[in-house]
Chains A and B, each alone.
Chain A
């Protein structure tokens, strides 16, 4: 069984630029999560999808972050414009088993 796929692995951008991350969950998994993990901290949920609907986006900074899962399969997380404090690892996971991808390390300079 293929795992959760994420790309890119690394991204370096300047502040005020935009960036997008992609996630393809395990086949058949209806629930998809995006977590933000700042260095030295545990992951924090940004948004949770059930199929193509949003279950929880209470911690998503909606003035700059957006996410979509149009066909209920893969998902894209976008940041526009990026700030220095957005530097973090962005982890995607899918359920029912809450399996994680390898994450994208974003550095904003």
Chain B
């Protein structure tokens, strides 16, 4: 079974600074997706960034980037130039890449990120 571990329950960052959120996972599959989702108090899960396991290049979306270490099964999220609106719960998630079908997400426990003005 696949597992996703987020060991830091909370983190805090100063506005405009950089913060890194950690995630490790375990799987026996070779082809899969990894995700970071943001969940504000509105409860809706918002996709921040996605990484495909077969792609060696780390994914980047504006101020958000990942450090994907496949051998170490590590997938961290870096937020640059943190903004007040970045404050939320962040979840790391895994999905097996099934041929011709959509696969469920397996989530970590999440981390609460606060941003200090």
Residues of chain A at the chain B interface (Cβ within 8 Å):
30-31, 33, 35, 40-45, 48, 50, 55-56, 89, 91, 93, 95-98, 100-103, 105
Contacts and interface: CB of A to CB of B under 8 A. Distances in A.
B107 A44 contact: yes
Contact of B102 (A40, A98, A103, A105): A98
Given A102-B43, A103-B43, A42 B104 contact: no
Given A40-B110, A45-B104, 16 more contacts: A31-B101, A31-B102, A35-B105, A40-B109, A41-B110, A42-B109, A42-B110, A43-B105, A44-B107, A91-B45, A96-B102, A97-B47, A98-B47, A98-B105, A100-B45, A105-B43
Given A33-B104, A96-B102, A101 B109 contact: no
Nearest to B6: A42
Q: Say what secondary structure dominates the interface of chain B.
A: loop
A43 B43 contact: no
Given A33-B104, A48-B104, A98-B105, A42 B91 contact: yes
A43 B102 contact: no
B102 A101 contact: no
B104 A56 contact: yes
Contact of A89 (B43, B47, B93): B43
